């Protein structure tokens, strides 16, 4: 079964969310370096980045001090049959845009919103003019029993973060900054976005992918 990568690559040029520090990948040792007597025998690096950078997952602790941290969330919630909803040209995604898909959402419980915004990656307005969800749309997802919501834009909302509060307040996981959703098409698929077990923290970078079930 083919796998489709839905994640942005990480490099020193990966744009962080405005106000966050940049990604830094430092070389600690390289086979290209020479020592006193001979070349190094290995390559080794160090990665420094904000947790909510590129393709990442939000844990409830991101907005709730008593919510589960990323190392506490069930991995079973991070993978499973998913539904891809095409929601193009909607600056605001409300409950009325999701309600026609209620049966699919209830059945699949992993919802991926395909707005096409990922095509704006690298543009100055990528982080400032992206689509957002209303609190009512977030509540509909909760009411359908959705376990995980994935979006192809950098945040499900803006301050005062009403959608975040509804979703994470009900332990519904959020994966932001997905890419390459066009490659999935209308085929049935499983979605996976497995976080690092970062103890006590609010989220994690992920390698998200779709497994096509032809």
User: Which range has the worst mean pLDDT, 36-45, 72-81, 125-134?
Assistant: 36-45
Residue 205: pLDDT above 70? yes
Residue appearing with tokens 């077990």: 197
- Summarised one tens digit per residue, pLDDT across range 145-202 is 999 999 999 999 999 999 999 999 999 999 999 999 999 999 999 999 999 999 999 9
pLDDT, mean of residues 91-110:
97
- From the candidates 52, 62, 108, 130, which is the catalytic residue? 62
Sequence-distant (≥ 6) Cβ neighbours of residue 119 within 8 angstroms: none
Q: Give residue 125's pLDDT.
A: 97
The CATH superfamily of 51-212 is Putative cyclase (3.50.30.50)
Measured CA to CA, the distance from residue 49 to residue 11 in angstroms comes to: 10
- pLDDT computed for residue 9 by the predictor: 97
Q: Treating both helix axes as pointing N-terminal to C-terminal, what angle do 162-169 and 135-143 enclose, rounded to 10 degrees? A: 20
Q: pLDDT digit string (tens) for 3-20?
A: 999 999 999 999 999 999
User: d(Cα 93, Cα 135) in Å, to the nearest integer?
Assistant: 10
Diameter over CA atoms, the chain: 69
- 1 confidence band (pLDDT: 50, 70, 90): low
So where are the chain's domains? 51-212
Active site residue 62: yes
Q: For residue 104, which of 161, 195, 189, 16 has the smallest C-alpha distance?
A: 189
Tokens 């209303």 -> residue: 134
């Amino acid at each position: 079964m083919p796998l489709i990568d839905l994640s942005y690559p990480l490099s020193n040029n990966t744009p962080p969310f405005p106000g966050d520090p940049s990604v830094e990948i430092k070389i600690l040792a390289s086979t290209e370096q020479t020592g006193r007597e001979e070349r190094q025998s290995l390559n080794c690096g160090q990665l420094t980045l904000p947790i909510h950078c590129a393709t990442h997952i939000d844990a409830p602790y991101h907005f709730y001090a008593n919510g589960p941290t990323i190392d506490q969330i069930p991995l079973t919630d991070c993978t499973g049959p998913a539904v891809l909803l095409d929601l193009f040209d909607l600056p605001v995604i409300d409950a009325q845009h999701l309600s026609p898909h209620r049966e699919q959402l209830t059945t699949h419980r992993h919802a991926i919103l395909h707005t096409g915004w990922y095509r704006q990656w690298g543009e100055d307005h990528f982080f400032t003019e992206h689509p957002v969800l209303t609190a009512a749309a977030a509540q509909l997802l909760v009411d359908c029993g959705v376990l995980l919501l994935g979006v192809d834009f950098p945040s499900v909302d803006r301050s005062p973060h009403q959608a975040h509060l509804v979703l994470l307040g009900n332990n519904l996981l959020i994966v932001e900054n997905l890419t390459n959703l066009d490659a999935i098409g209308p085929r049935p698929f499983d979605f996976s976005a497995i976080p690092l077990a970062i103890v006590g923290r609010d989220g994690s970078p992920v390698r998200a992918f779709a497994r096509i079930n032809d």
